[in-house]
Amino acid sequence: MKRLFIQTHKPISFFFRQSSDDFIVDEVPLDREGGRGSYLIIKVKKRNMTTNEMLGILEDETQCYHIGYAGLKDKSAMTTQYLSLPLKYSRALEKFRHPQIQIVDSFRYKEKINMGDLKGNRFFIRLHNVKPLSASELERVLQDIQRHGMPNYFGYQRFGRDSADFEKTREIAHGEIDIDDRRLKRLLSHAYQSYLFNDWLASRVTFSQKLPAMKADDIKMKFGVSAVEAEQLLNQPGIFKVLPGDIMLDHKAQKWVNVTDLQAVRKLFKERKLTPTGLLSGKKAWRAKTMAAQFEAPYDDPEVIASAGDRRVAWIYPSEIRSKYLAKEGDFELSFMLPKGAYATVLLENLANRELG
């Protein structure tokens, strides 16, 4: 599996050490007002441990085995995130102390936190061994990414040592291998879905790069589209090309939209109101149709039973980008916000135009 990027510059050299000093992640929660409610929401800061490891420690402390969380955070980092647990377990946390975990805030709320209940994440990253010319190039590419966006690959953290074996993750996702550790089982099943998604996205990036050089008649013959659709494909602006039959996310309504008219979605995609999505395999997931289905089918696996399936945004736009070059130290510092589920290391790979993991 290879992540293909959209930049054309020569790879940029720098040293990135994923550590709690050089990699800071702050979860941006949904808007919640404290007050009355049957759940306790806690803001937790952790250092150099996975979210699952942290949850295990908190479970042992509270004897609560259904702690809610919005997403997984990196191990080799300083991270903050929000957790929920029934109010009756709050007393067990009053004297909680741990050298790598700190509860920095808490309040009551009416609902628990579920996976995906966040706006996104803010990141601070420090790169080392950056030369002045490389710093200038990093600034230029950052502006380009902010303007045009980037492919939303799963980062290498999604494929840790336990999920490095593609065949093993497939067997777990199919239910052919059972694992007692429910979190590890879910993690490995998701890793299999992520392998397939990344390969699909790389194929779509490749096609988007090749499309401008293709001829309308060849597109009609190869993909079975109409003459009008072929011309609309060729006349699309932007780097990532939407296909007939794609499923796009309507960000305002938070619903899926089937693409039946390329011209109708063209402006909405440019305005970032609609975004193409890719399949996370599972029996209940929405499937693409017509031309888009031809690209999706090789990376679909309806035999996945460990997950109902879903769709994932294929193209994202980093925001709130700030950067600073410390010439004396040779360090390049940058901060930015990404939507939920996106990986900061994928942004770094786009900057470097090479894989890091």
Catalytic residues: 74
Contact assessment for residue 306 and residue 189, using Cβ atoms and an 8 Å cutoff: yes
Residues contacting 113, CB < 8 A, separation 6+: 41, 68, 69, 70, 82, 83, 84
Contact assessment for residue 42 and residue 61, using Cβ atoms and an 8 Å cutoff: no
Among 234, 201, 206, residue whose Cα is nearest residue 219:
234
Give whole-number Cα distances, 336 to 123, 135, 150, 184, 200, in Å. Answer: 6, 17, 14, 30, 26
Contact assessment for residue 36 and residue 110, using Cβ atoms and an 8 Å cutoff: yes
Strands 150-151 and 78-86: unpaired
Lookup: tokens for 122: 């803010």
Lookup: tokens for 318: 């980093």
Helices 227-234 & 262-270 angle (0-180, nearest 10): 20
Can you tell me which residue has the tokens 């409610």? 37
Q: What share of the chain is helix, strand, coil (3-state, %, to 5)?
A: 35, 25, 40
Question: Exposure of 350 by Cβ count < 10 A (0-12 exposed, 13-18 middle, 19+ buried)?
Answer: buried
Among 141, 129, 122, 78, residue whose Cα is nearest residue 326:
129
